A and B are shown apart, each in its own frame.
Chain A
Amino acid sequence: MKKRTLIRGGRVIDPGAALDRTADLLVEDGRILAVAPNLAPDHAEVVDARGLVVAPGFVDPHAHLCEPGWERRETIATGARAGAAGGYTAICAMPDTDPVVDDPASVGFVVAAGRRAGGAKVVPAAAVSAGREGKRLTEFGELLEAGAVALTDAGRPVRSSMLMRLALEYAQSFGVPILSHPEDAALARGGVMHEGVVSTRLGLRGKPAVAEEIGAARDLALAGATGGRLHLQRVSTAATVALLRRAKERGVRVTAEVTPHHLLFSHEAVDGYGTEYKVDPPLRTHEDAEALVAALADGTIDCIATDHAPRTYDEKEQAFEDAPFGVVGLETAFAILHTRLVRSGRIPLATLLERLSTGPARALALPGGCLSAGERADLVLIDPEARWTIRPERFLSNCRNTPFGGEAATGRVVRTLIDGERAWEAPATRPEAKRPGTGAQSPRGRS
């Protein structure tokens, strides 16, 4: 007998299909069979989703899972499970590991470890240049054949404009985007926060906004000239948003992402030297954050990336200049953005869900982002009214370097289904499952 799950009575929001209505969703053998009101299939496990939102699982275009090489920070398994706990059903893993994911064997390792992980699907991005050294291109064809979905030097700009041009050209044979960290390396060198009055007061070396603007302008110009596909990672300034908007208007094939922290914080947050606010690119001004929210709302920015960057307690427990960049984000992105942007009326829920799922899935051709019949059943159940407190000590991630610890959030992913199987269930959810023995386990051991 085929295994069926009926998710009954939820508010189904499928941004890709512009669908937002109360309906049932039937899953059979890991795929979506139907989305319609009042479905009455035989022998299905019924999940009562009344009062819940049913949406495509989230897709993260940018996460650092740190394995191989940095397993104290995160492993592919812990990262994938942390992703599922945050509603993510697919994660694009960055190649800045040790060794760098720049050959087919390394790609294969990440793919295999991802399959074993029992969490969000892990799809690797591979390096643009061998060793991320910016000197010569990697073998795109073989990397993609091994399972990579995009190419990036992850956290480093491709300094040579010639190499970036070649990458954008060569990738066209394979139809994949180059993910760029737009930055003029010489201008940004040594900076640990946004260059401005706060960095001046604190005596910290700044990264000027113009460093990103120049990097973005170059990459957009090259994308325009070559016709290649470009994805701008972690846009942080209003100037980059303006460049992006103009490039899209003139038909450049570009997509872009923004992180929750760049949407929600400004450089004033660094006052006090809190290393949980040390991120790259740095937190910019209030006006920049406003421009990012507006660009996210109007679609100039296509998607939300966590830039999940686990750092151990010891690494972050240092003076600001000595601590590494990065915050974790997989387990907080939805809740914090829902609380601060949707509940406050700044963007609609459907827009947030689109930017978390359909947008990134489309930008990077990642799995998921759609609830149409026949698609894999990668989806989330969200309780938009759930009030809870973000407790880093309960994270499934190996690390707790978050600026949101202790924050009261409204809205929570209560269940994540991957290929129709339960990959996560929030603790203390409402009683609902009518039939036991679905085989899925709730990863609650650490809570």
Chain B
Amino acid sequence: MSRPRATLGKDLTGLESLSREQIEAVLDTAEPFKEISERRLRQVPVLRGQTIVNLFFEPSTRTRISFEFAEKRLAADAVNIGARRSSVSKGETLVDTARNLEAMRIDMVVIRHWSAGAAAFLAARIPSNVINAGDGAHEHPTQGLLDMLTLRDHFGRLEGLKVCIVGDVLHSRVARSNIFGLTRVGAEVAVCGPRTLMPAGVEDLGVRLFRRVEEAIEWADALNVLRLQMERMQDGFVPSLREYNRVFGVTRRRLEWAPRDLLILHPGPMNRGVEIDSDVADGPHSVILRQVTNGVAIRMAVLYLLSGGAPEGAEAAKAGAGA
């Protein structure tokens, strides 16, 4: 594409503040990066010499590894800092931790933090690029983008697509990023789950609310099934995981009633037999592993764009000309 496209600015803290053009720019930029992961030599020197810190205040395996792969495939130097190993546990504040890293001269921080707003807080206080890898129950923008990329791969479009997010929307940053991102690009979004796990005023975000998963299945083109954490039962939001599966679980039998084949997404890690059954998760319409693959490409695209790369330069970068 020849016309200049909007890029991301300094940080990616959430999808709510992005325009449709910005979101599409990331998705388009991810396309050429997908192919790099399929090669024998899975690296382009786009970020060679850049230092990226993965600052994880919460345990995470898949998101952290996905970012790490993305960083390595762009030839950046990446350092992982987990909350337990860092001085955070010694009472150092988030700002001091970041400023200390900054003093060692870094280019980007990928942050996962338990507090909503932590990424924006950091972004406002340090000159490095900040990427939100999940802040409390607020946003997980790269997950939202990779879900959108996976949907676009399959359907060829996002506008007018009917996507229902099923499960614990109340505590889910994945749900929020999907709602903000998908509504921004013109998809129709619904949420479904027990009312105890639906946040107040969720319909005011421009989404439909289904009280029964059967209604969602009848309506949707795709289901994004959220993980139900065990703590939700302990905290009393649902009486039991067994009943959750019976009433809200995405099962093969329920899907058989669907008027069309539904695409099945899940951000992982899955609780098989709770929110999703294995024959659905591993079934022909599941794109759950495709999401994981796309996650690396999306994160490469975000890193590339934040480092100052132009969307139209990604093709060239893929060919190795970005060196």
- Whether A201 sits at the interface, judged by CB under 8 Å, is yes
Q: Which of A205, A317, A321 contacts B117 (CB 8 A)?
A: A321
Could you tell me the distance between the alpha carbons of A344 and B102 in the complex, rounded to whole angstroms? 47
Could you tell me the distance between the alpha carbons of A314 and B93 in the complex, rounded to whole angstroms? 9
- Whether A319 sits at the interface, judged by CB under 8 Å, is yes
Number of A residues with CB within 8 Å of any CB on chain B: 21
**B205 & A201 in contact (Cβ 8 Å cutoff):** yes
Number of B residues with CB within 8 Å of any CB on chain A: 25
**B200 & A322 in contact (Cβ 8 Å cutoff):** no
Q: Which of A313-355 contact B (CB under 8 A)?
A: 314, 317-322
Measured between C-beta atoms, what is the minimum distance from B164 to chain A in Å? 17
- Evaluate whether A318 and B139 lie within 8 angstroms (CB atoms) in the complex, with A202-B117, A203-B173, A273-B117 already known: no
- Whether A195 sits at the interface, judged by CB under 8 Å, is yes
Measured between C-beta atoms, what is the minimum distance from B57 to chain A in Å? 10
When distances are taken between beta carbons in the complex, the residues of chain A under 8 Å from B176 are: 201, 203
- Whether A208 sits at the interface, judged by CB under 8 Å, is yes
- Evaluate whether A203 and B200 lie within 8 angstroms (CB atoms) in the complex, with A318-B94, A320-B115 already known: no
When distances are taken between beta carbons in the complex, the residues of chain A under 8 Å from B115 are: 318-322
**A200 & B201 in contact (Cβ 8 Å cutoff):** yes
- Whether A196 sits at the interface, judged by CB under 8 Å, is yes
**B118 & A319 in contact (Cβ 8 Å cutoff):** yes
Could you tell me the distance between the alpha carbons of A318 and B200 in the complex, rounded to whole angstroms? 25
Measured between C-beta atoms, what is the minimum distance from B123 to chain A in Å? 11
Q: Which of B14-45 contact A (CB under 8 A)?
A: 16
When distances are taken between beta carbons in the complex, the residues of chain A under 8 Å from B94 are: 318-319
When distances are taken between beta carbons in the complex, the residues of chain A under 8 Å from B118 are: 319
Measured between C-beta atoms, what is the minimum distance from B120 to chain A in Å? 6
- Whether A206 sits at the interface, judged by CB under 8 Å, is yes
- Whether B137 sits at the interface, judged by CB under 8 Å, is yes
Could you tell me the distance between the alpha carbons of A318 and B97 in the complex, rounded to whole angstroms? 12
**A318 & B136 in contact (Cβ 8 Å cutoff):** no
Interface centre among A195, A204, A208, A272 (most CB of B within 10 A): A204
**A197 & B205 in contact (Cβ 8 Å cutoff):** yes
When distances are taken between beta carbons in the complex, the residues of chain B under 8 Å from A196 are: 200-201
Q: Which of A206, A314, A320 contacts B200 (CB 8 A)?
A: A206
- Evaluate whether A318 and B137 lie within 8 angstroms (CB atoms) in the complex, with A200-B205, A203-B116 already known: no
Measured between C-beta atoms, what is the minimum distance from A205 to chain B in Å? 8
- Nearest B-chain residue to A205, judged by Cβ: B137
B 68-107 binary contact with A (CB < 8 Å = 1; else 0): 0000000000000000000000000111000000000000
Could you tell me the distance between the alpha carbons of A320 and B120 in the complex, rounded to whole angstroms? 11
- Nearest B-chain residue to A206, judged by Cβ: B200
**B116 & A204 in contact (Cβ 8 Å cutoff):** yes
**A197 & B137 in contact (Cβ 8 Å cutoff):** no
Could you tell me the distance between the alpha carbons of A320 and B94 in the complex, rounded to whole angstroms? 12
Could you tell me the distance between the alpha carbons of A204 and B170 in the complex, rounded to whole angstroms? 10
**B120 & A273 in contact (Cβ 8 Å cutoff):** yes
When distances are taken between beta carbons in the complex, the residues of chain B under 8 Å from A204 are: 116-117, 136-138
Measured between C-beta atoms, what is the minimum distance from A65 to chain B in Å? 26
Could you tell me the distance between the alpha carbons of A272 and B16 in the complex, rounded to whole angstroms? 12
Please list 5 pairs of residues, one from A and one from B, whose beta carbons are closer than 8 Å in the complex, sorted by A's number. A202-B117, A205-B137, A319-B116, A321-B136, A322-B115
User: What 8 pairs across the A-B complex have the smallest Cβ distances?
Assistant: A203-B138, A197-B201, A273-B117, A319-B115, A203-B137, A200-B199, A203-B116, A321-B115
Query: Assuming A196-B200, A204-B136, what are 20 further A-B pairs, CB within 8 angstroms?
Result: A196-B201, A197-B200, A197-B201, A200-B200, A202-B116, A203-B116, A203-B136, A203-B137, A203-B138, A204-B117, A205-B137, A208-B200, A272-B120, A273-B120, A317-B93, A319-B94, A319-B113, A319-B118, A320-B117, A321-B114
Which A residues contact B (CB, under 8 angstroms)?
195-197, 199-206, 208, 272-273, 314, 317-322
